[in-house]
Amino acid sequence: MAQRGIIICFFIITALTNAAHAFELSPLGIDIHAFVSQGFLVSDDNSFLSADTEDGTFQFNEIGINFNKQLTENLHVGLQFLARDQGMIGNNDVEIDWAYGDYRWRDWLGLRAGIMRLPLGLYNETRDLDFLRSSILLPQSVYNENLRDFFSRLRGVGLYGDIPLKAAGALGYQAMVGTVDIDSDGGVARSSESSGMVEFIEADVGTVYNGSLQWYTPIEGLRAGVTYFYNSDTETEIQMTIPMGPGMPTEITAIDEQDEFQVYVLSAEYTWEHLVVAAEYMEMNRESHVQGFPMAFELDPVGYYLGGSYRFTDWFELGSYYSIYYADEDDKDGDDLEAMGRPDFRAWLKDFAVTTRFDFNDNWILKLEGHMMDGAALVMAQENLDGFEENWFLLAAKATFYF
Amino acid sequence: MKRFPFAALSICLALLTAGIAPQASAQEVKIVAHPDISRSTLSRDEIRQIFLGRKTQWDDGNQRVHFVVLKEGDTHETFVRQFVGKTPSQFSNYWKKMIFTGKGRAPQSFATPEDVVALVAETAGAVGYVPPETDTPGVKIISITAQ
């Protein structure tokens, strides 16, 4: 079924490749845009992103197609299908990426309802749109691919608007409430299972609250923002793979109850001519317990990065970032992990990336990117049964067609 | 050794900033609007908000702003640099972001200033920009204020 869907998507996109710009279904007035990306990942150690990167993998692609129509002066509807593959995740299953109605009553107040991309940091809404940025991989300190199920999209309602502040610039806001879907084969599930203690069965996510404030400052090209994500009432059915206590059997099914899960991201981006510099800081807190068992867990990851890009010509752009992620802000040097017999460098991931982007024309781009990694946080155990290395290198390449 | 990434990043950023940006043309532009629009002036900030899709209604709240752009060329580059604060590729990327997240439709674009004038003249709520020497029958010329 998934393969049939992906073939249909390919067929539609291929049929439209003569269109160098938006394809419009006249007289219906429906705009159609699409993109196809194919990437390659290879690392010298530590298979990454749920993919077998140590052997090199082409299981790294996205395909999307969207349809937009303005129904009335203030009402706009649209829908995007997305299929992606990232190693063990995605497998090119076609899913609805976003589909919502958007009623803009005034500039300062609009209403959206449906499935919407979720703002978290500067680039989460566009994380699958490779052609909108310099790098192939967003800094994992803030845009953790393992948790994308939680942060990709929200099914619910939202308010948004833009408020001019005269001499103080302008303010853009979004506020959403709804829920998210967690794939039992996705990154969240695989992250849970990476501990080796549990098998993820399914998650019932409760209400998610999400908000974003973007301040377009009076300083030309400078914007700053804060985004926030909150969820508390999520229950995850898990199966224990180790005994819960002396003499107790394994394979007990239990419910992991999330008491609190919140994330905030502080962001700043400065654009001057062809130069873009961005910095972001993320803090996350997750507290949970297992029903009926004296087990409580708390995770406090923190991450930040500084990056920049410069477009030298119409066809060439160079970018770089340095990203730091700590799995637990109270154990940045990994002493607690070491005391448990695990490598201390699993406590952090420091990623120095250099990326090049080549725009062959308005529809085709190619990117090449190197990542010098220090640490193995965010690296899953399932793909690294022979252990982890502290210092490693990841090479990424990606070609994208879009219109 | 631990400092290497910071040093390397600094060198990269220094290299990036050392690039020579193409200079914007000194050519000015003329803002044109449909004659029924009540406004005869727009501030630079209002023009920016219009062409970024953040100001979508004229002041009475009943008429929708319909902005149009030139596809490319010196006038387009001058306009987006001076009034929107973006290079043409950044302006294009901004609208791709809006399109591919469902937040907006691509601006209507035209190859020639004459086409822009013709569309603005016949479309209620329309606003656009053209080179200053362009004949502008049937449209209103909008004065630009600092604030």
- State residue B122's pLDDT score: 96
What are the b/e assignments for A194-207, b being 16+ CB within 10 Å?
beeebbbeebebee
* Subunit contact B97:A80, Cβ cutoff 8 A: no
Token duo for residue A35 = 């993109």
B40 touches chain A (CB under 8 A): no
Distance, in angstroms, between B83 CA and closest chain A CA?
Answer: 11
Per mean pLDDT, which range of A187-196, A234-243, B6-15 is the poorest? B6-15
For residue A10, the model assigns a pLDDT of 52
- Predicted confidence at residue A1, as pLDDT, reads 47
Q: Which residues of A touch B78 (CB under 8 A)?
A: none
Supply φ then ψ for residue A292, to 5 degrees.
Answer: 85, 0
For residue B49, the chain A residues in CB contact (below 8 A) are: 162, 164, 170
pTM (predicted TM-score):
0.89
Interface check for B15 against chain A (CB to CB < 8 A): the answer is: yes
Find the mean pLDDT for residues A231-235. 91
Ramachandran bin of A212, using left for φ above 0, alpha for ψ from -120 to 50, beta for the remaining angles: beta
Spatial separation of the C-alpha atoms in residues A333 and B89, rounded to whole Å? 42
In angstroms, the CA A302 to CA A307 distance is 17
Closest residue in B to A309 (Cα–Cα): B16
**Where would I find the beta strands (DSSP E) of A165-221?**
170-179, 198-204, 208-216
Query: With an 8 Å Cβ cutoff, is B21 touching chain A?
Result: yes
Q: What does residue A223 show for φ and ψ, rounded to 5 degrees?
A: -130, 150
pLDDT tens string A131-172: 999 999 999 999 999 999 999 999 999 999 999 998 899 999
Q: Which has more pLDDT, A393 or A186?
A: A393
Element (H, E) at A326: strand A316-326
pLDDT at B63: 87
A to B CB pairs, distance under 8 Å:
119
- DSSP H or E run through A351: strand A348-359
Q: For B18-69, what is each residue's pLDDT tens digit?
A: 443 333 344 489 999 999 999 999 999 999 999 999 999 998 777 899 999 9
Residue of A111, A322, A390 to mutate, testing the B interface (most B Cβ within 10 Å of its Cβ): A322
Instruction: Tell me how far apart the alpha carbons of residues A402 and B19 are, in angstroms, rounded to a whole number.
Output: 28
Tell me which residue in B54, B86, B97 faces A107 most closely, judged by beta carbons. B54
- Looking at per-residue confidence, does A242 or A141 come out higher? A141
Torsion over CA of A98, A99, A103 and A109, rounded to 10 degrees? Answer: -20
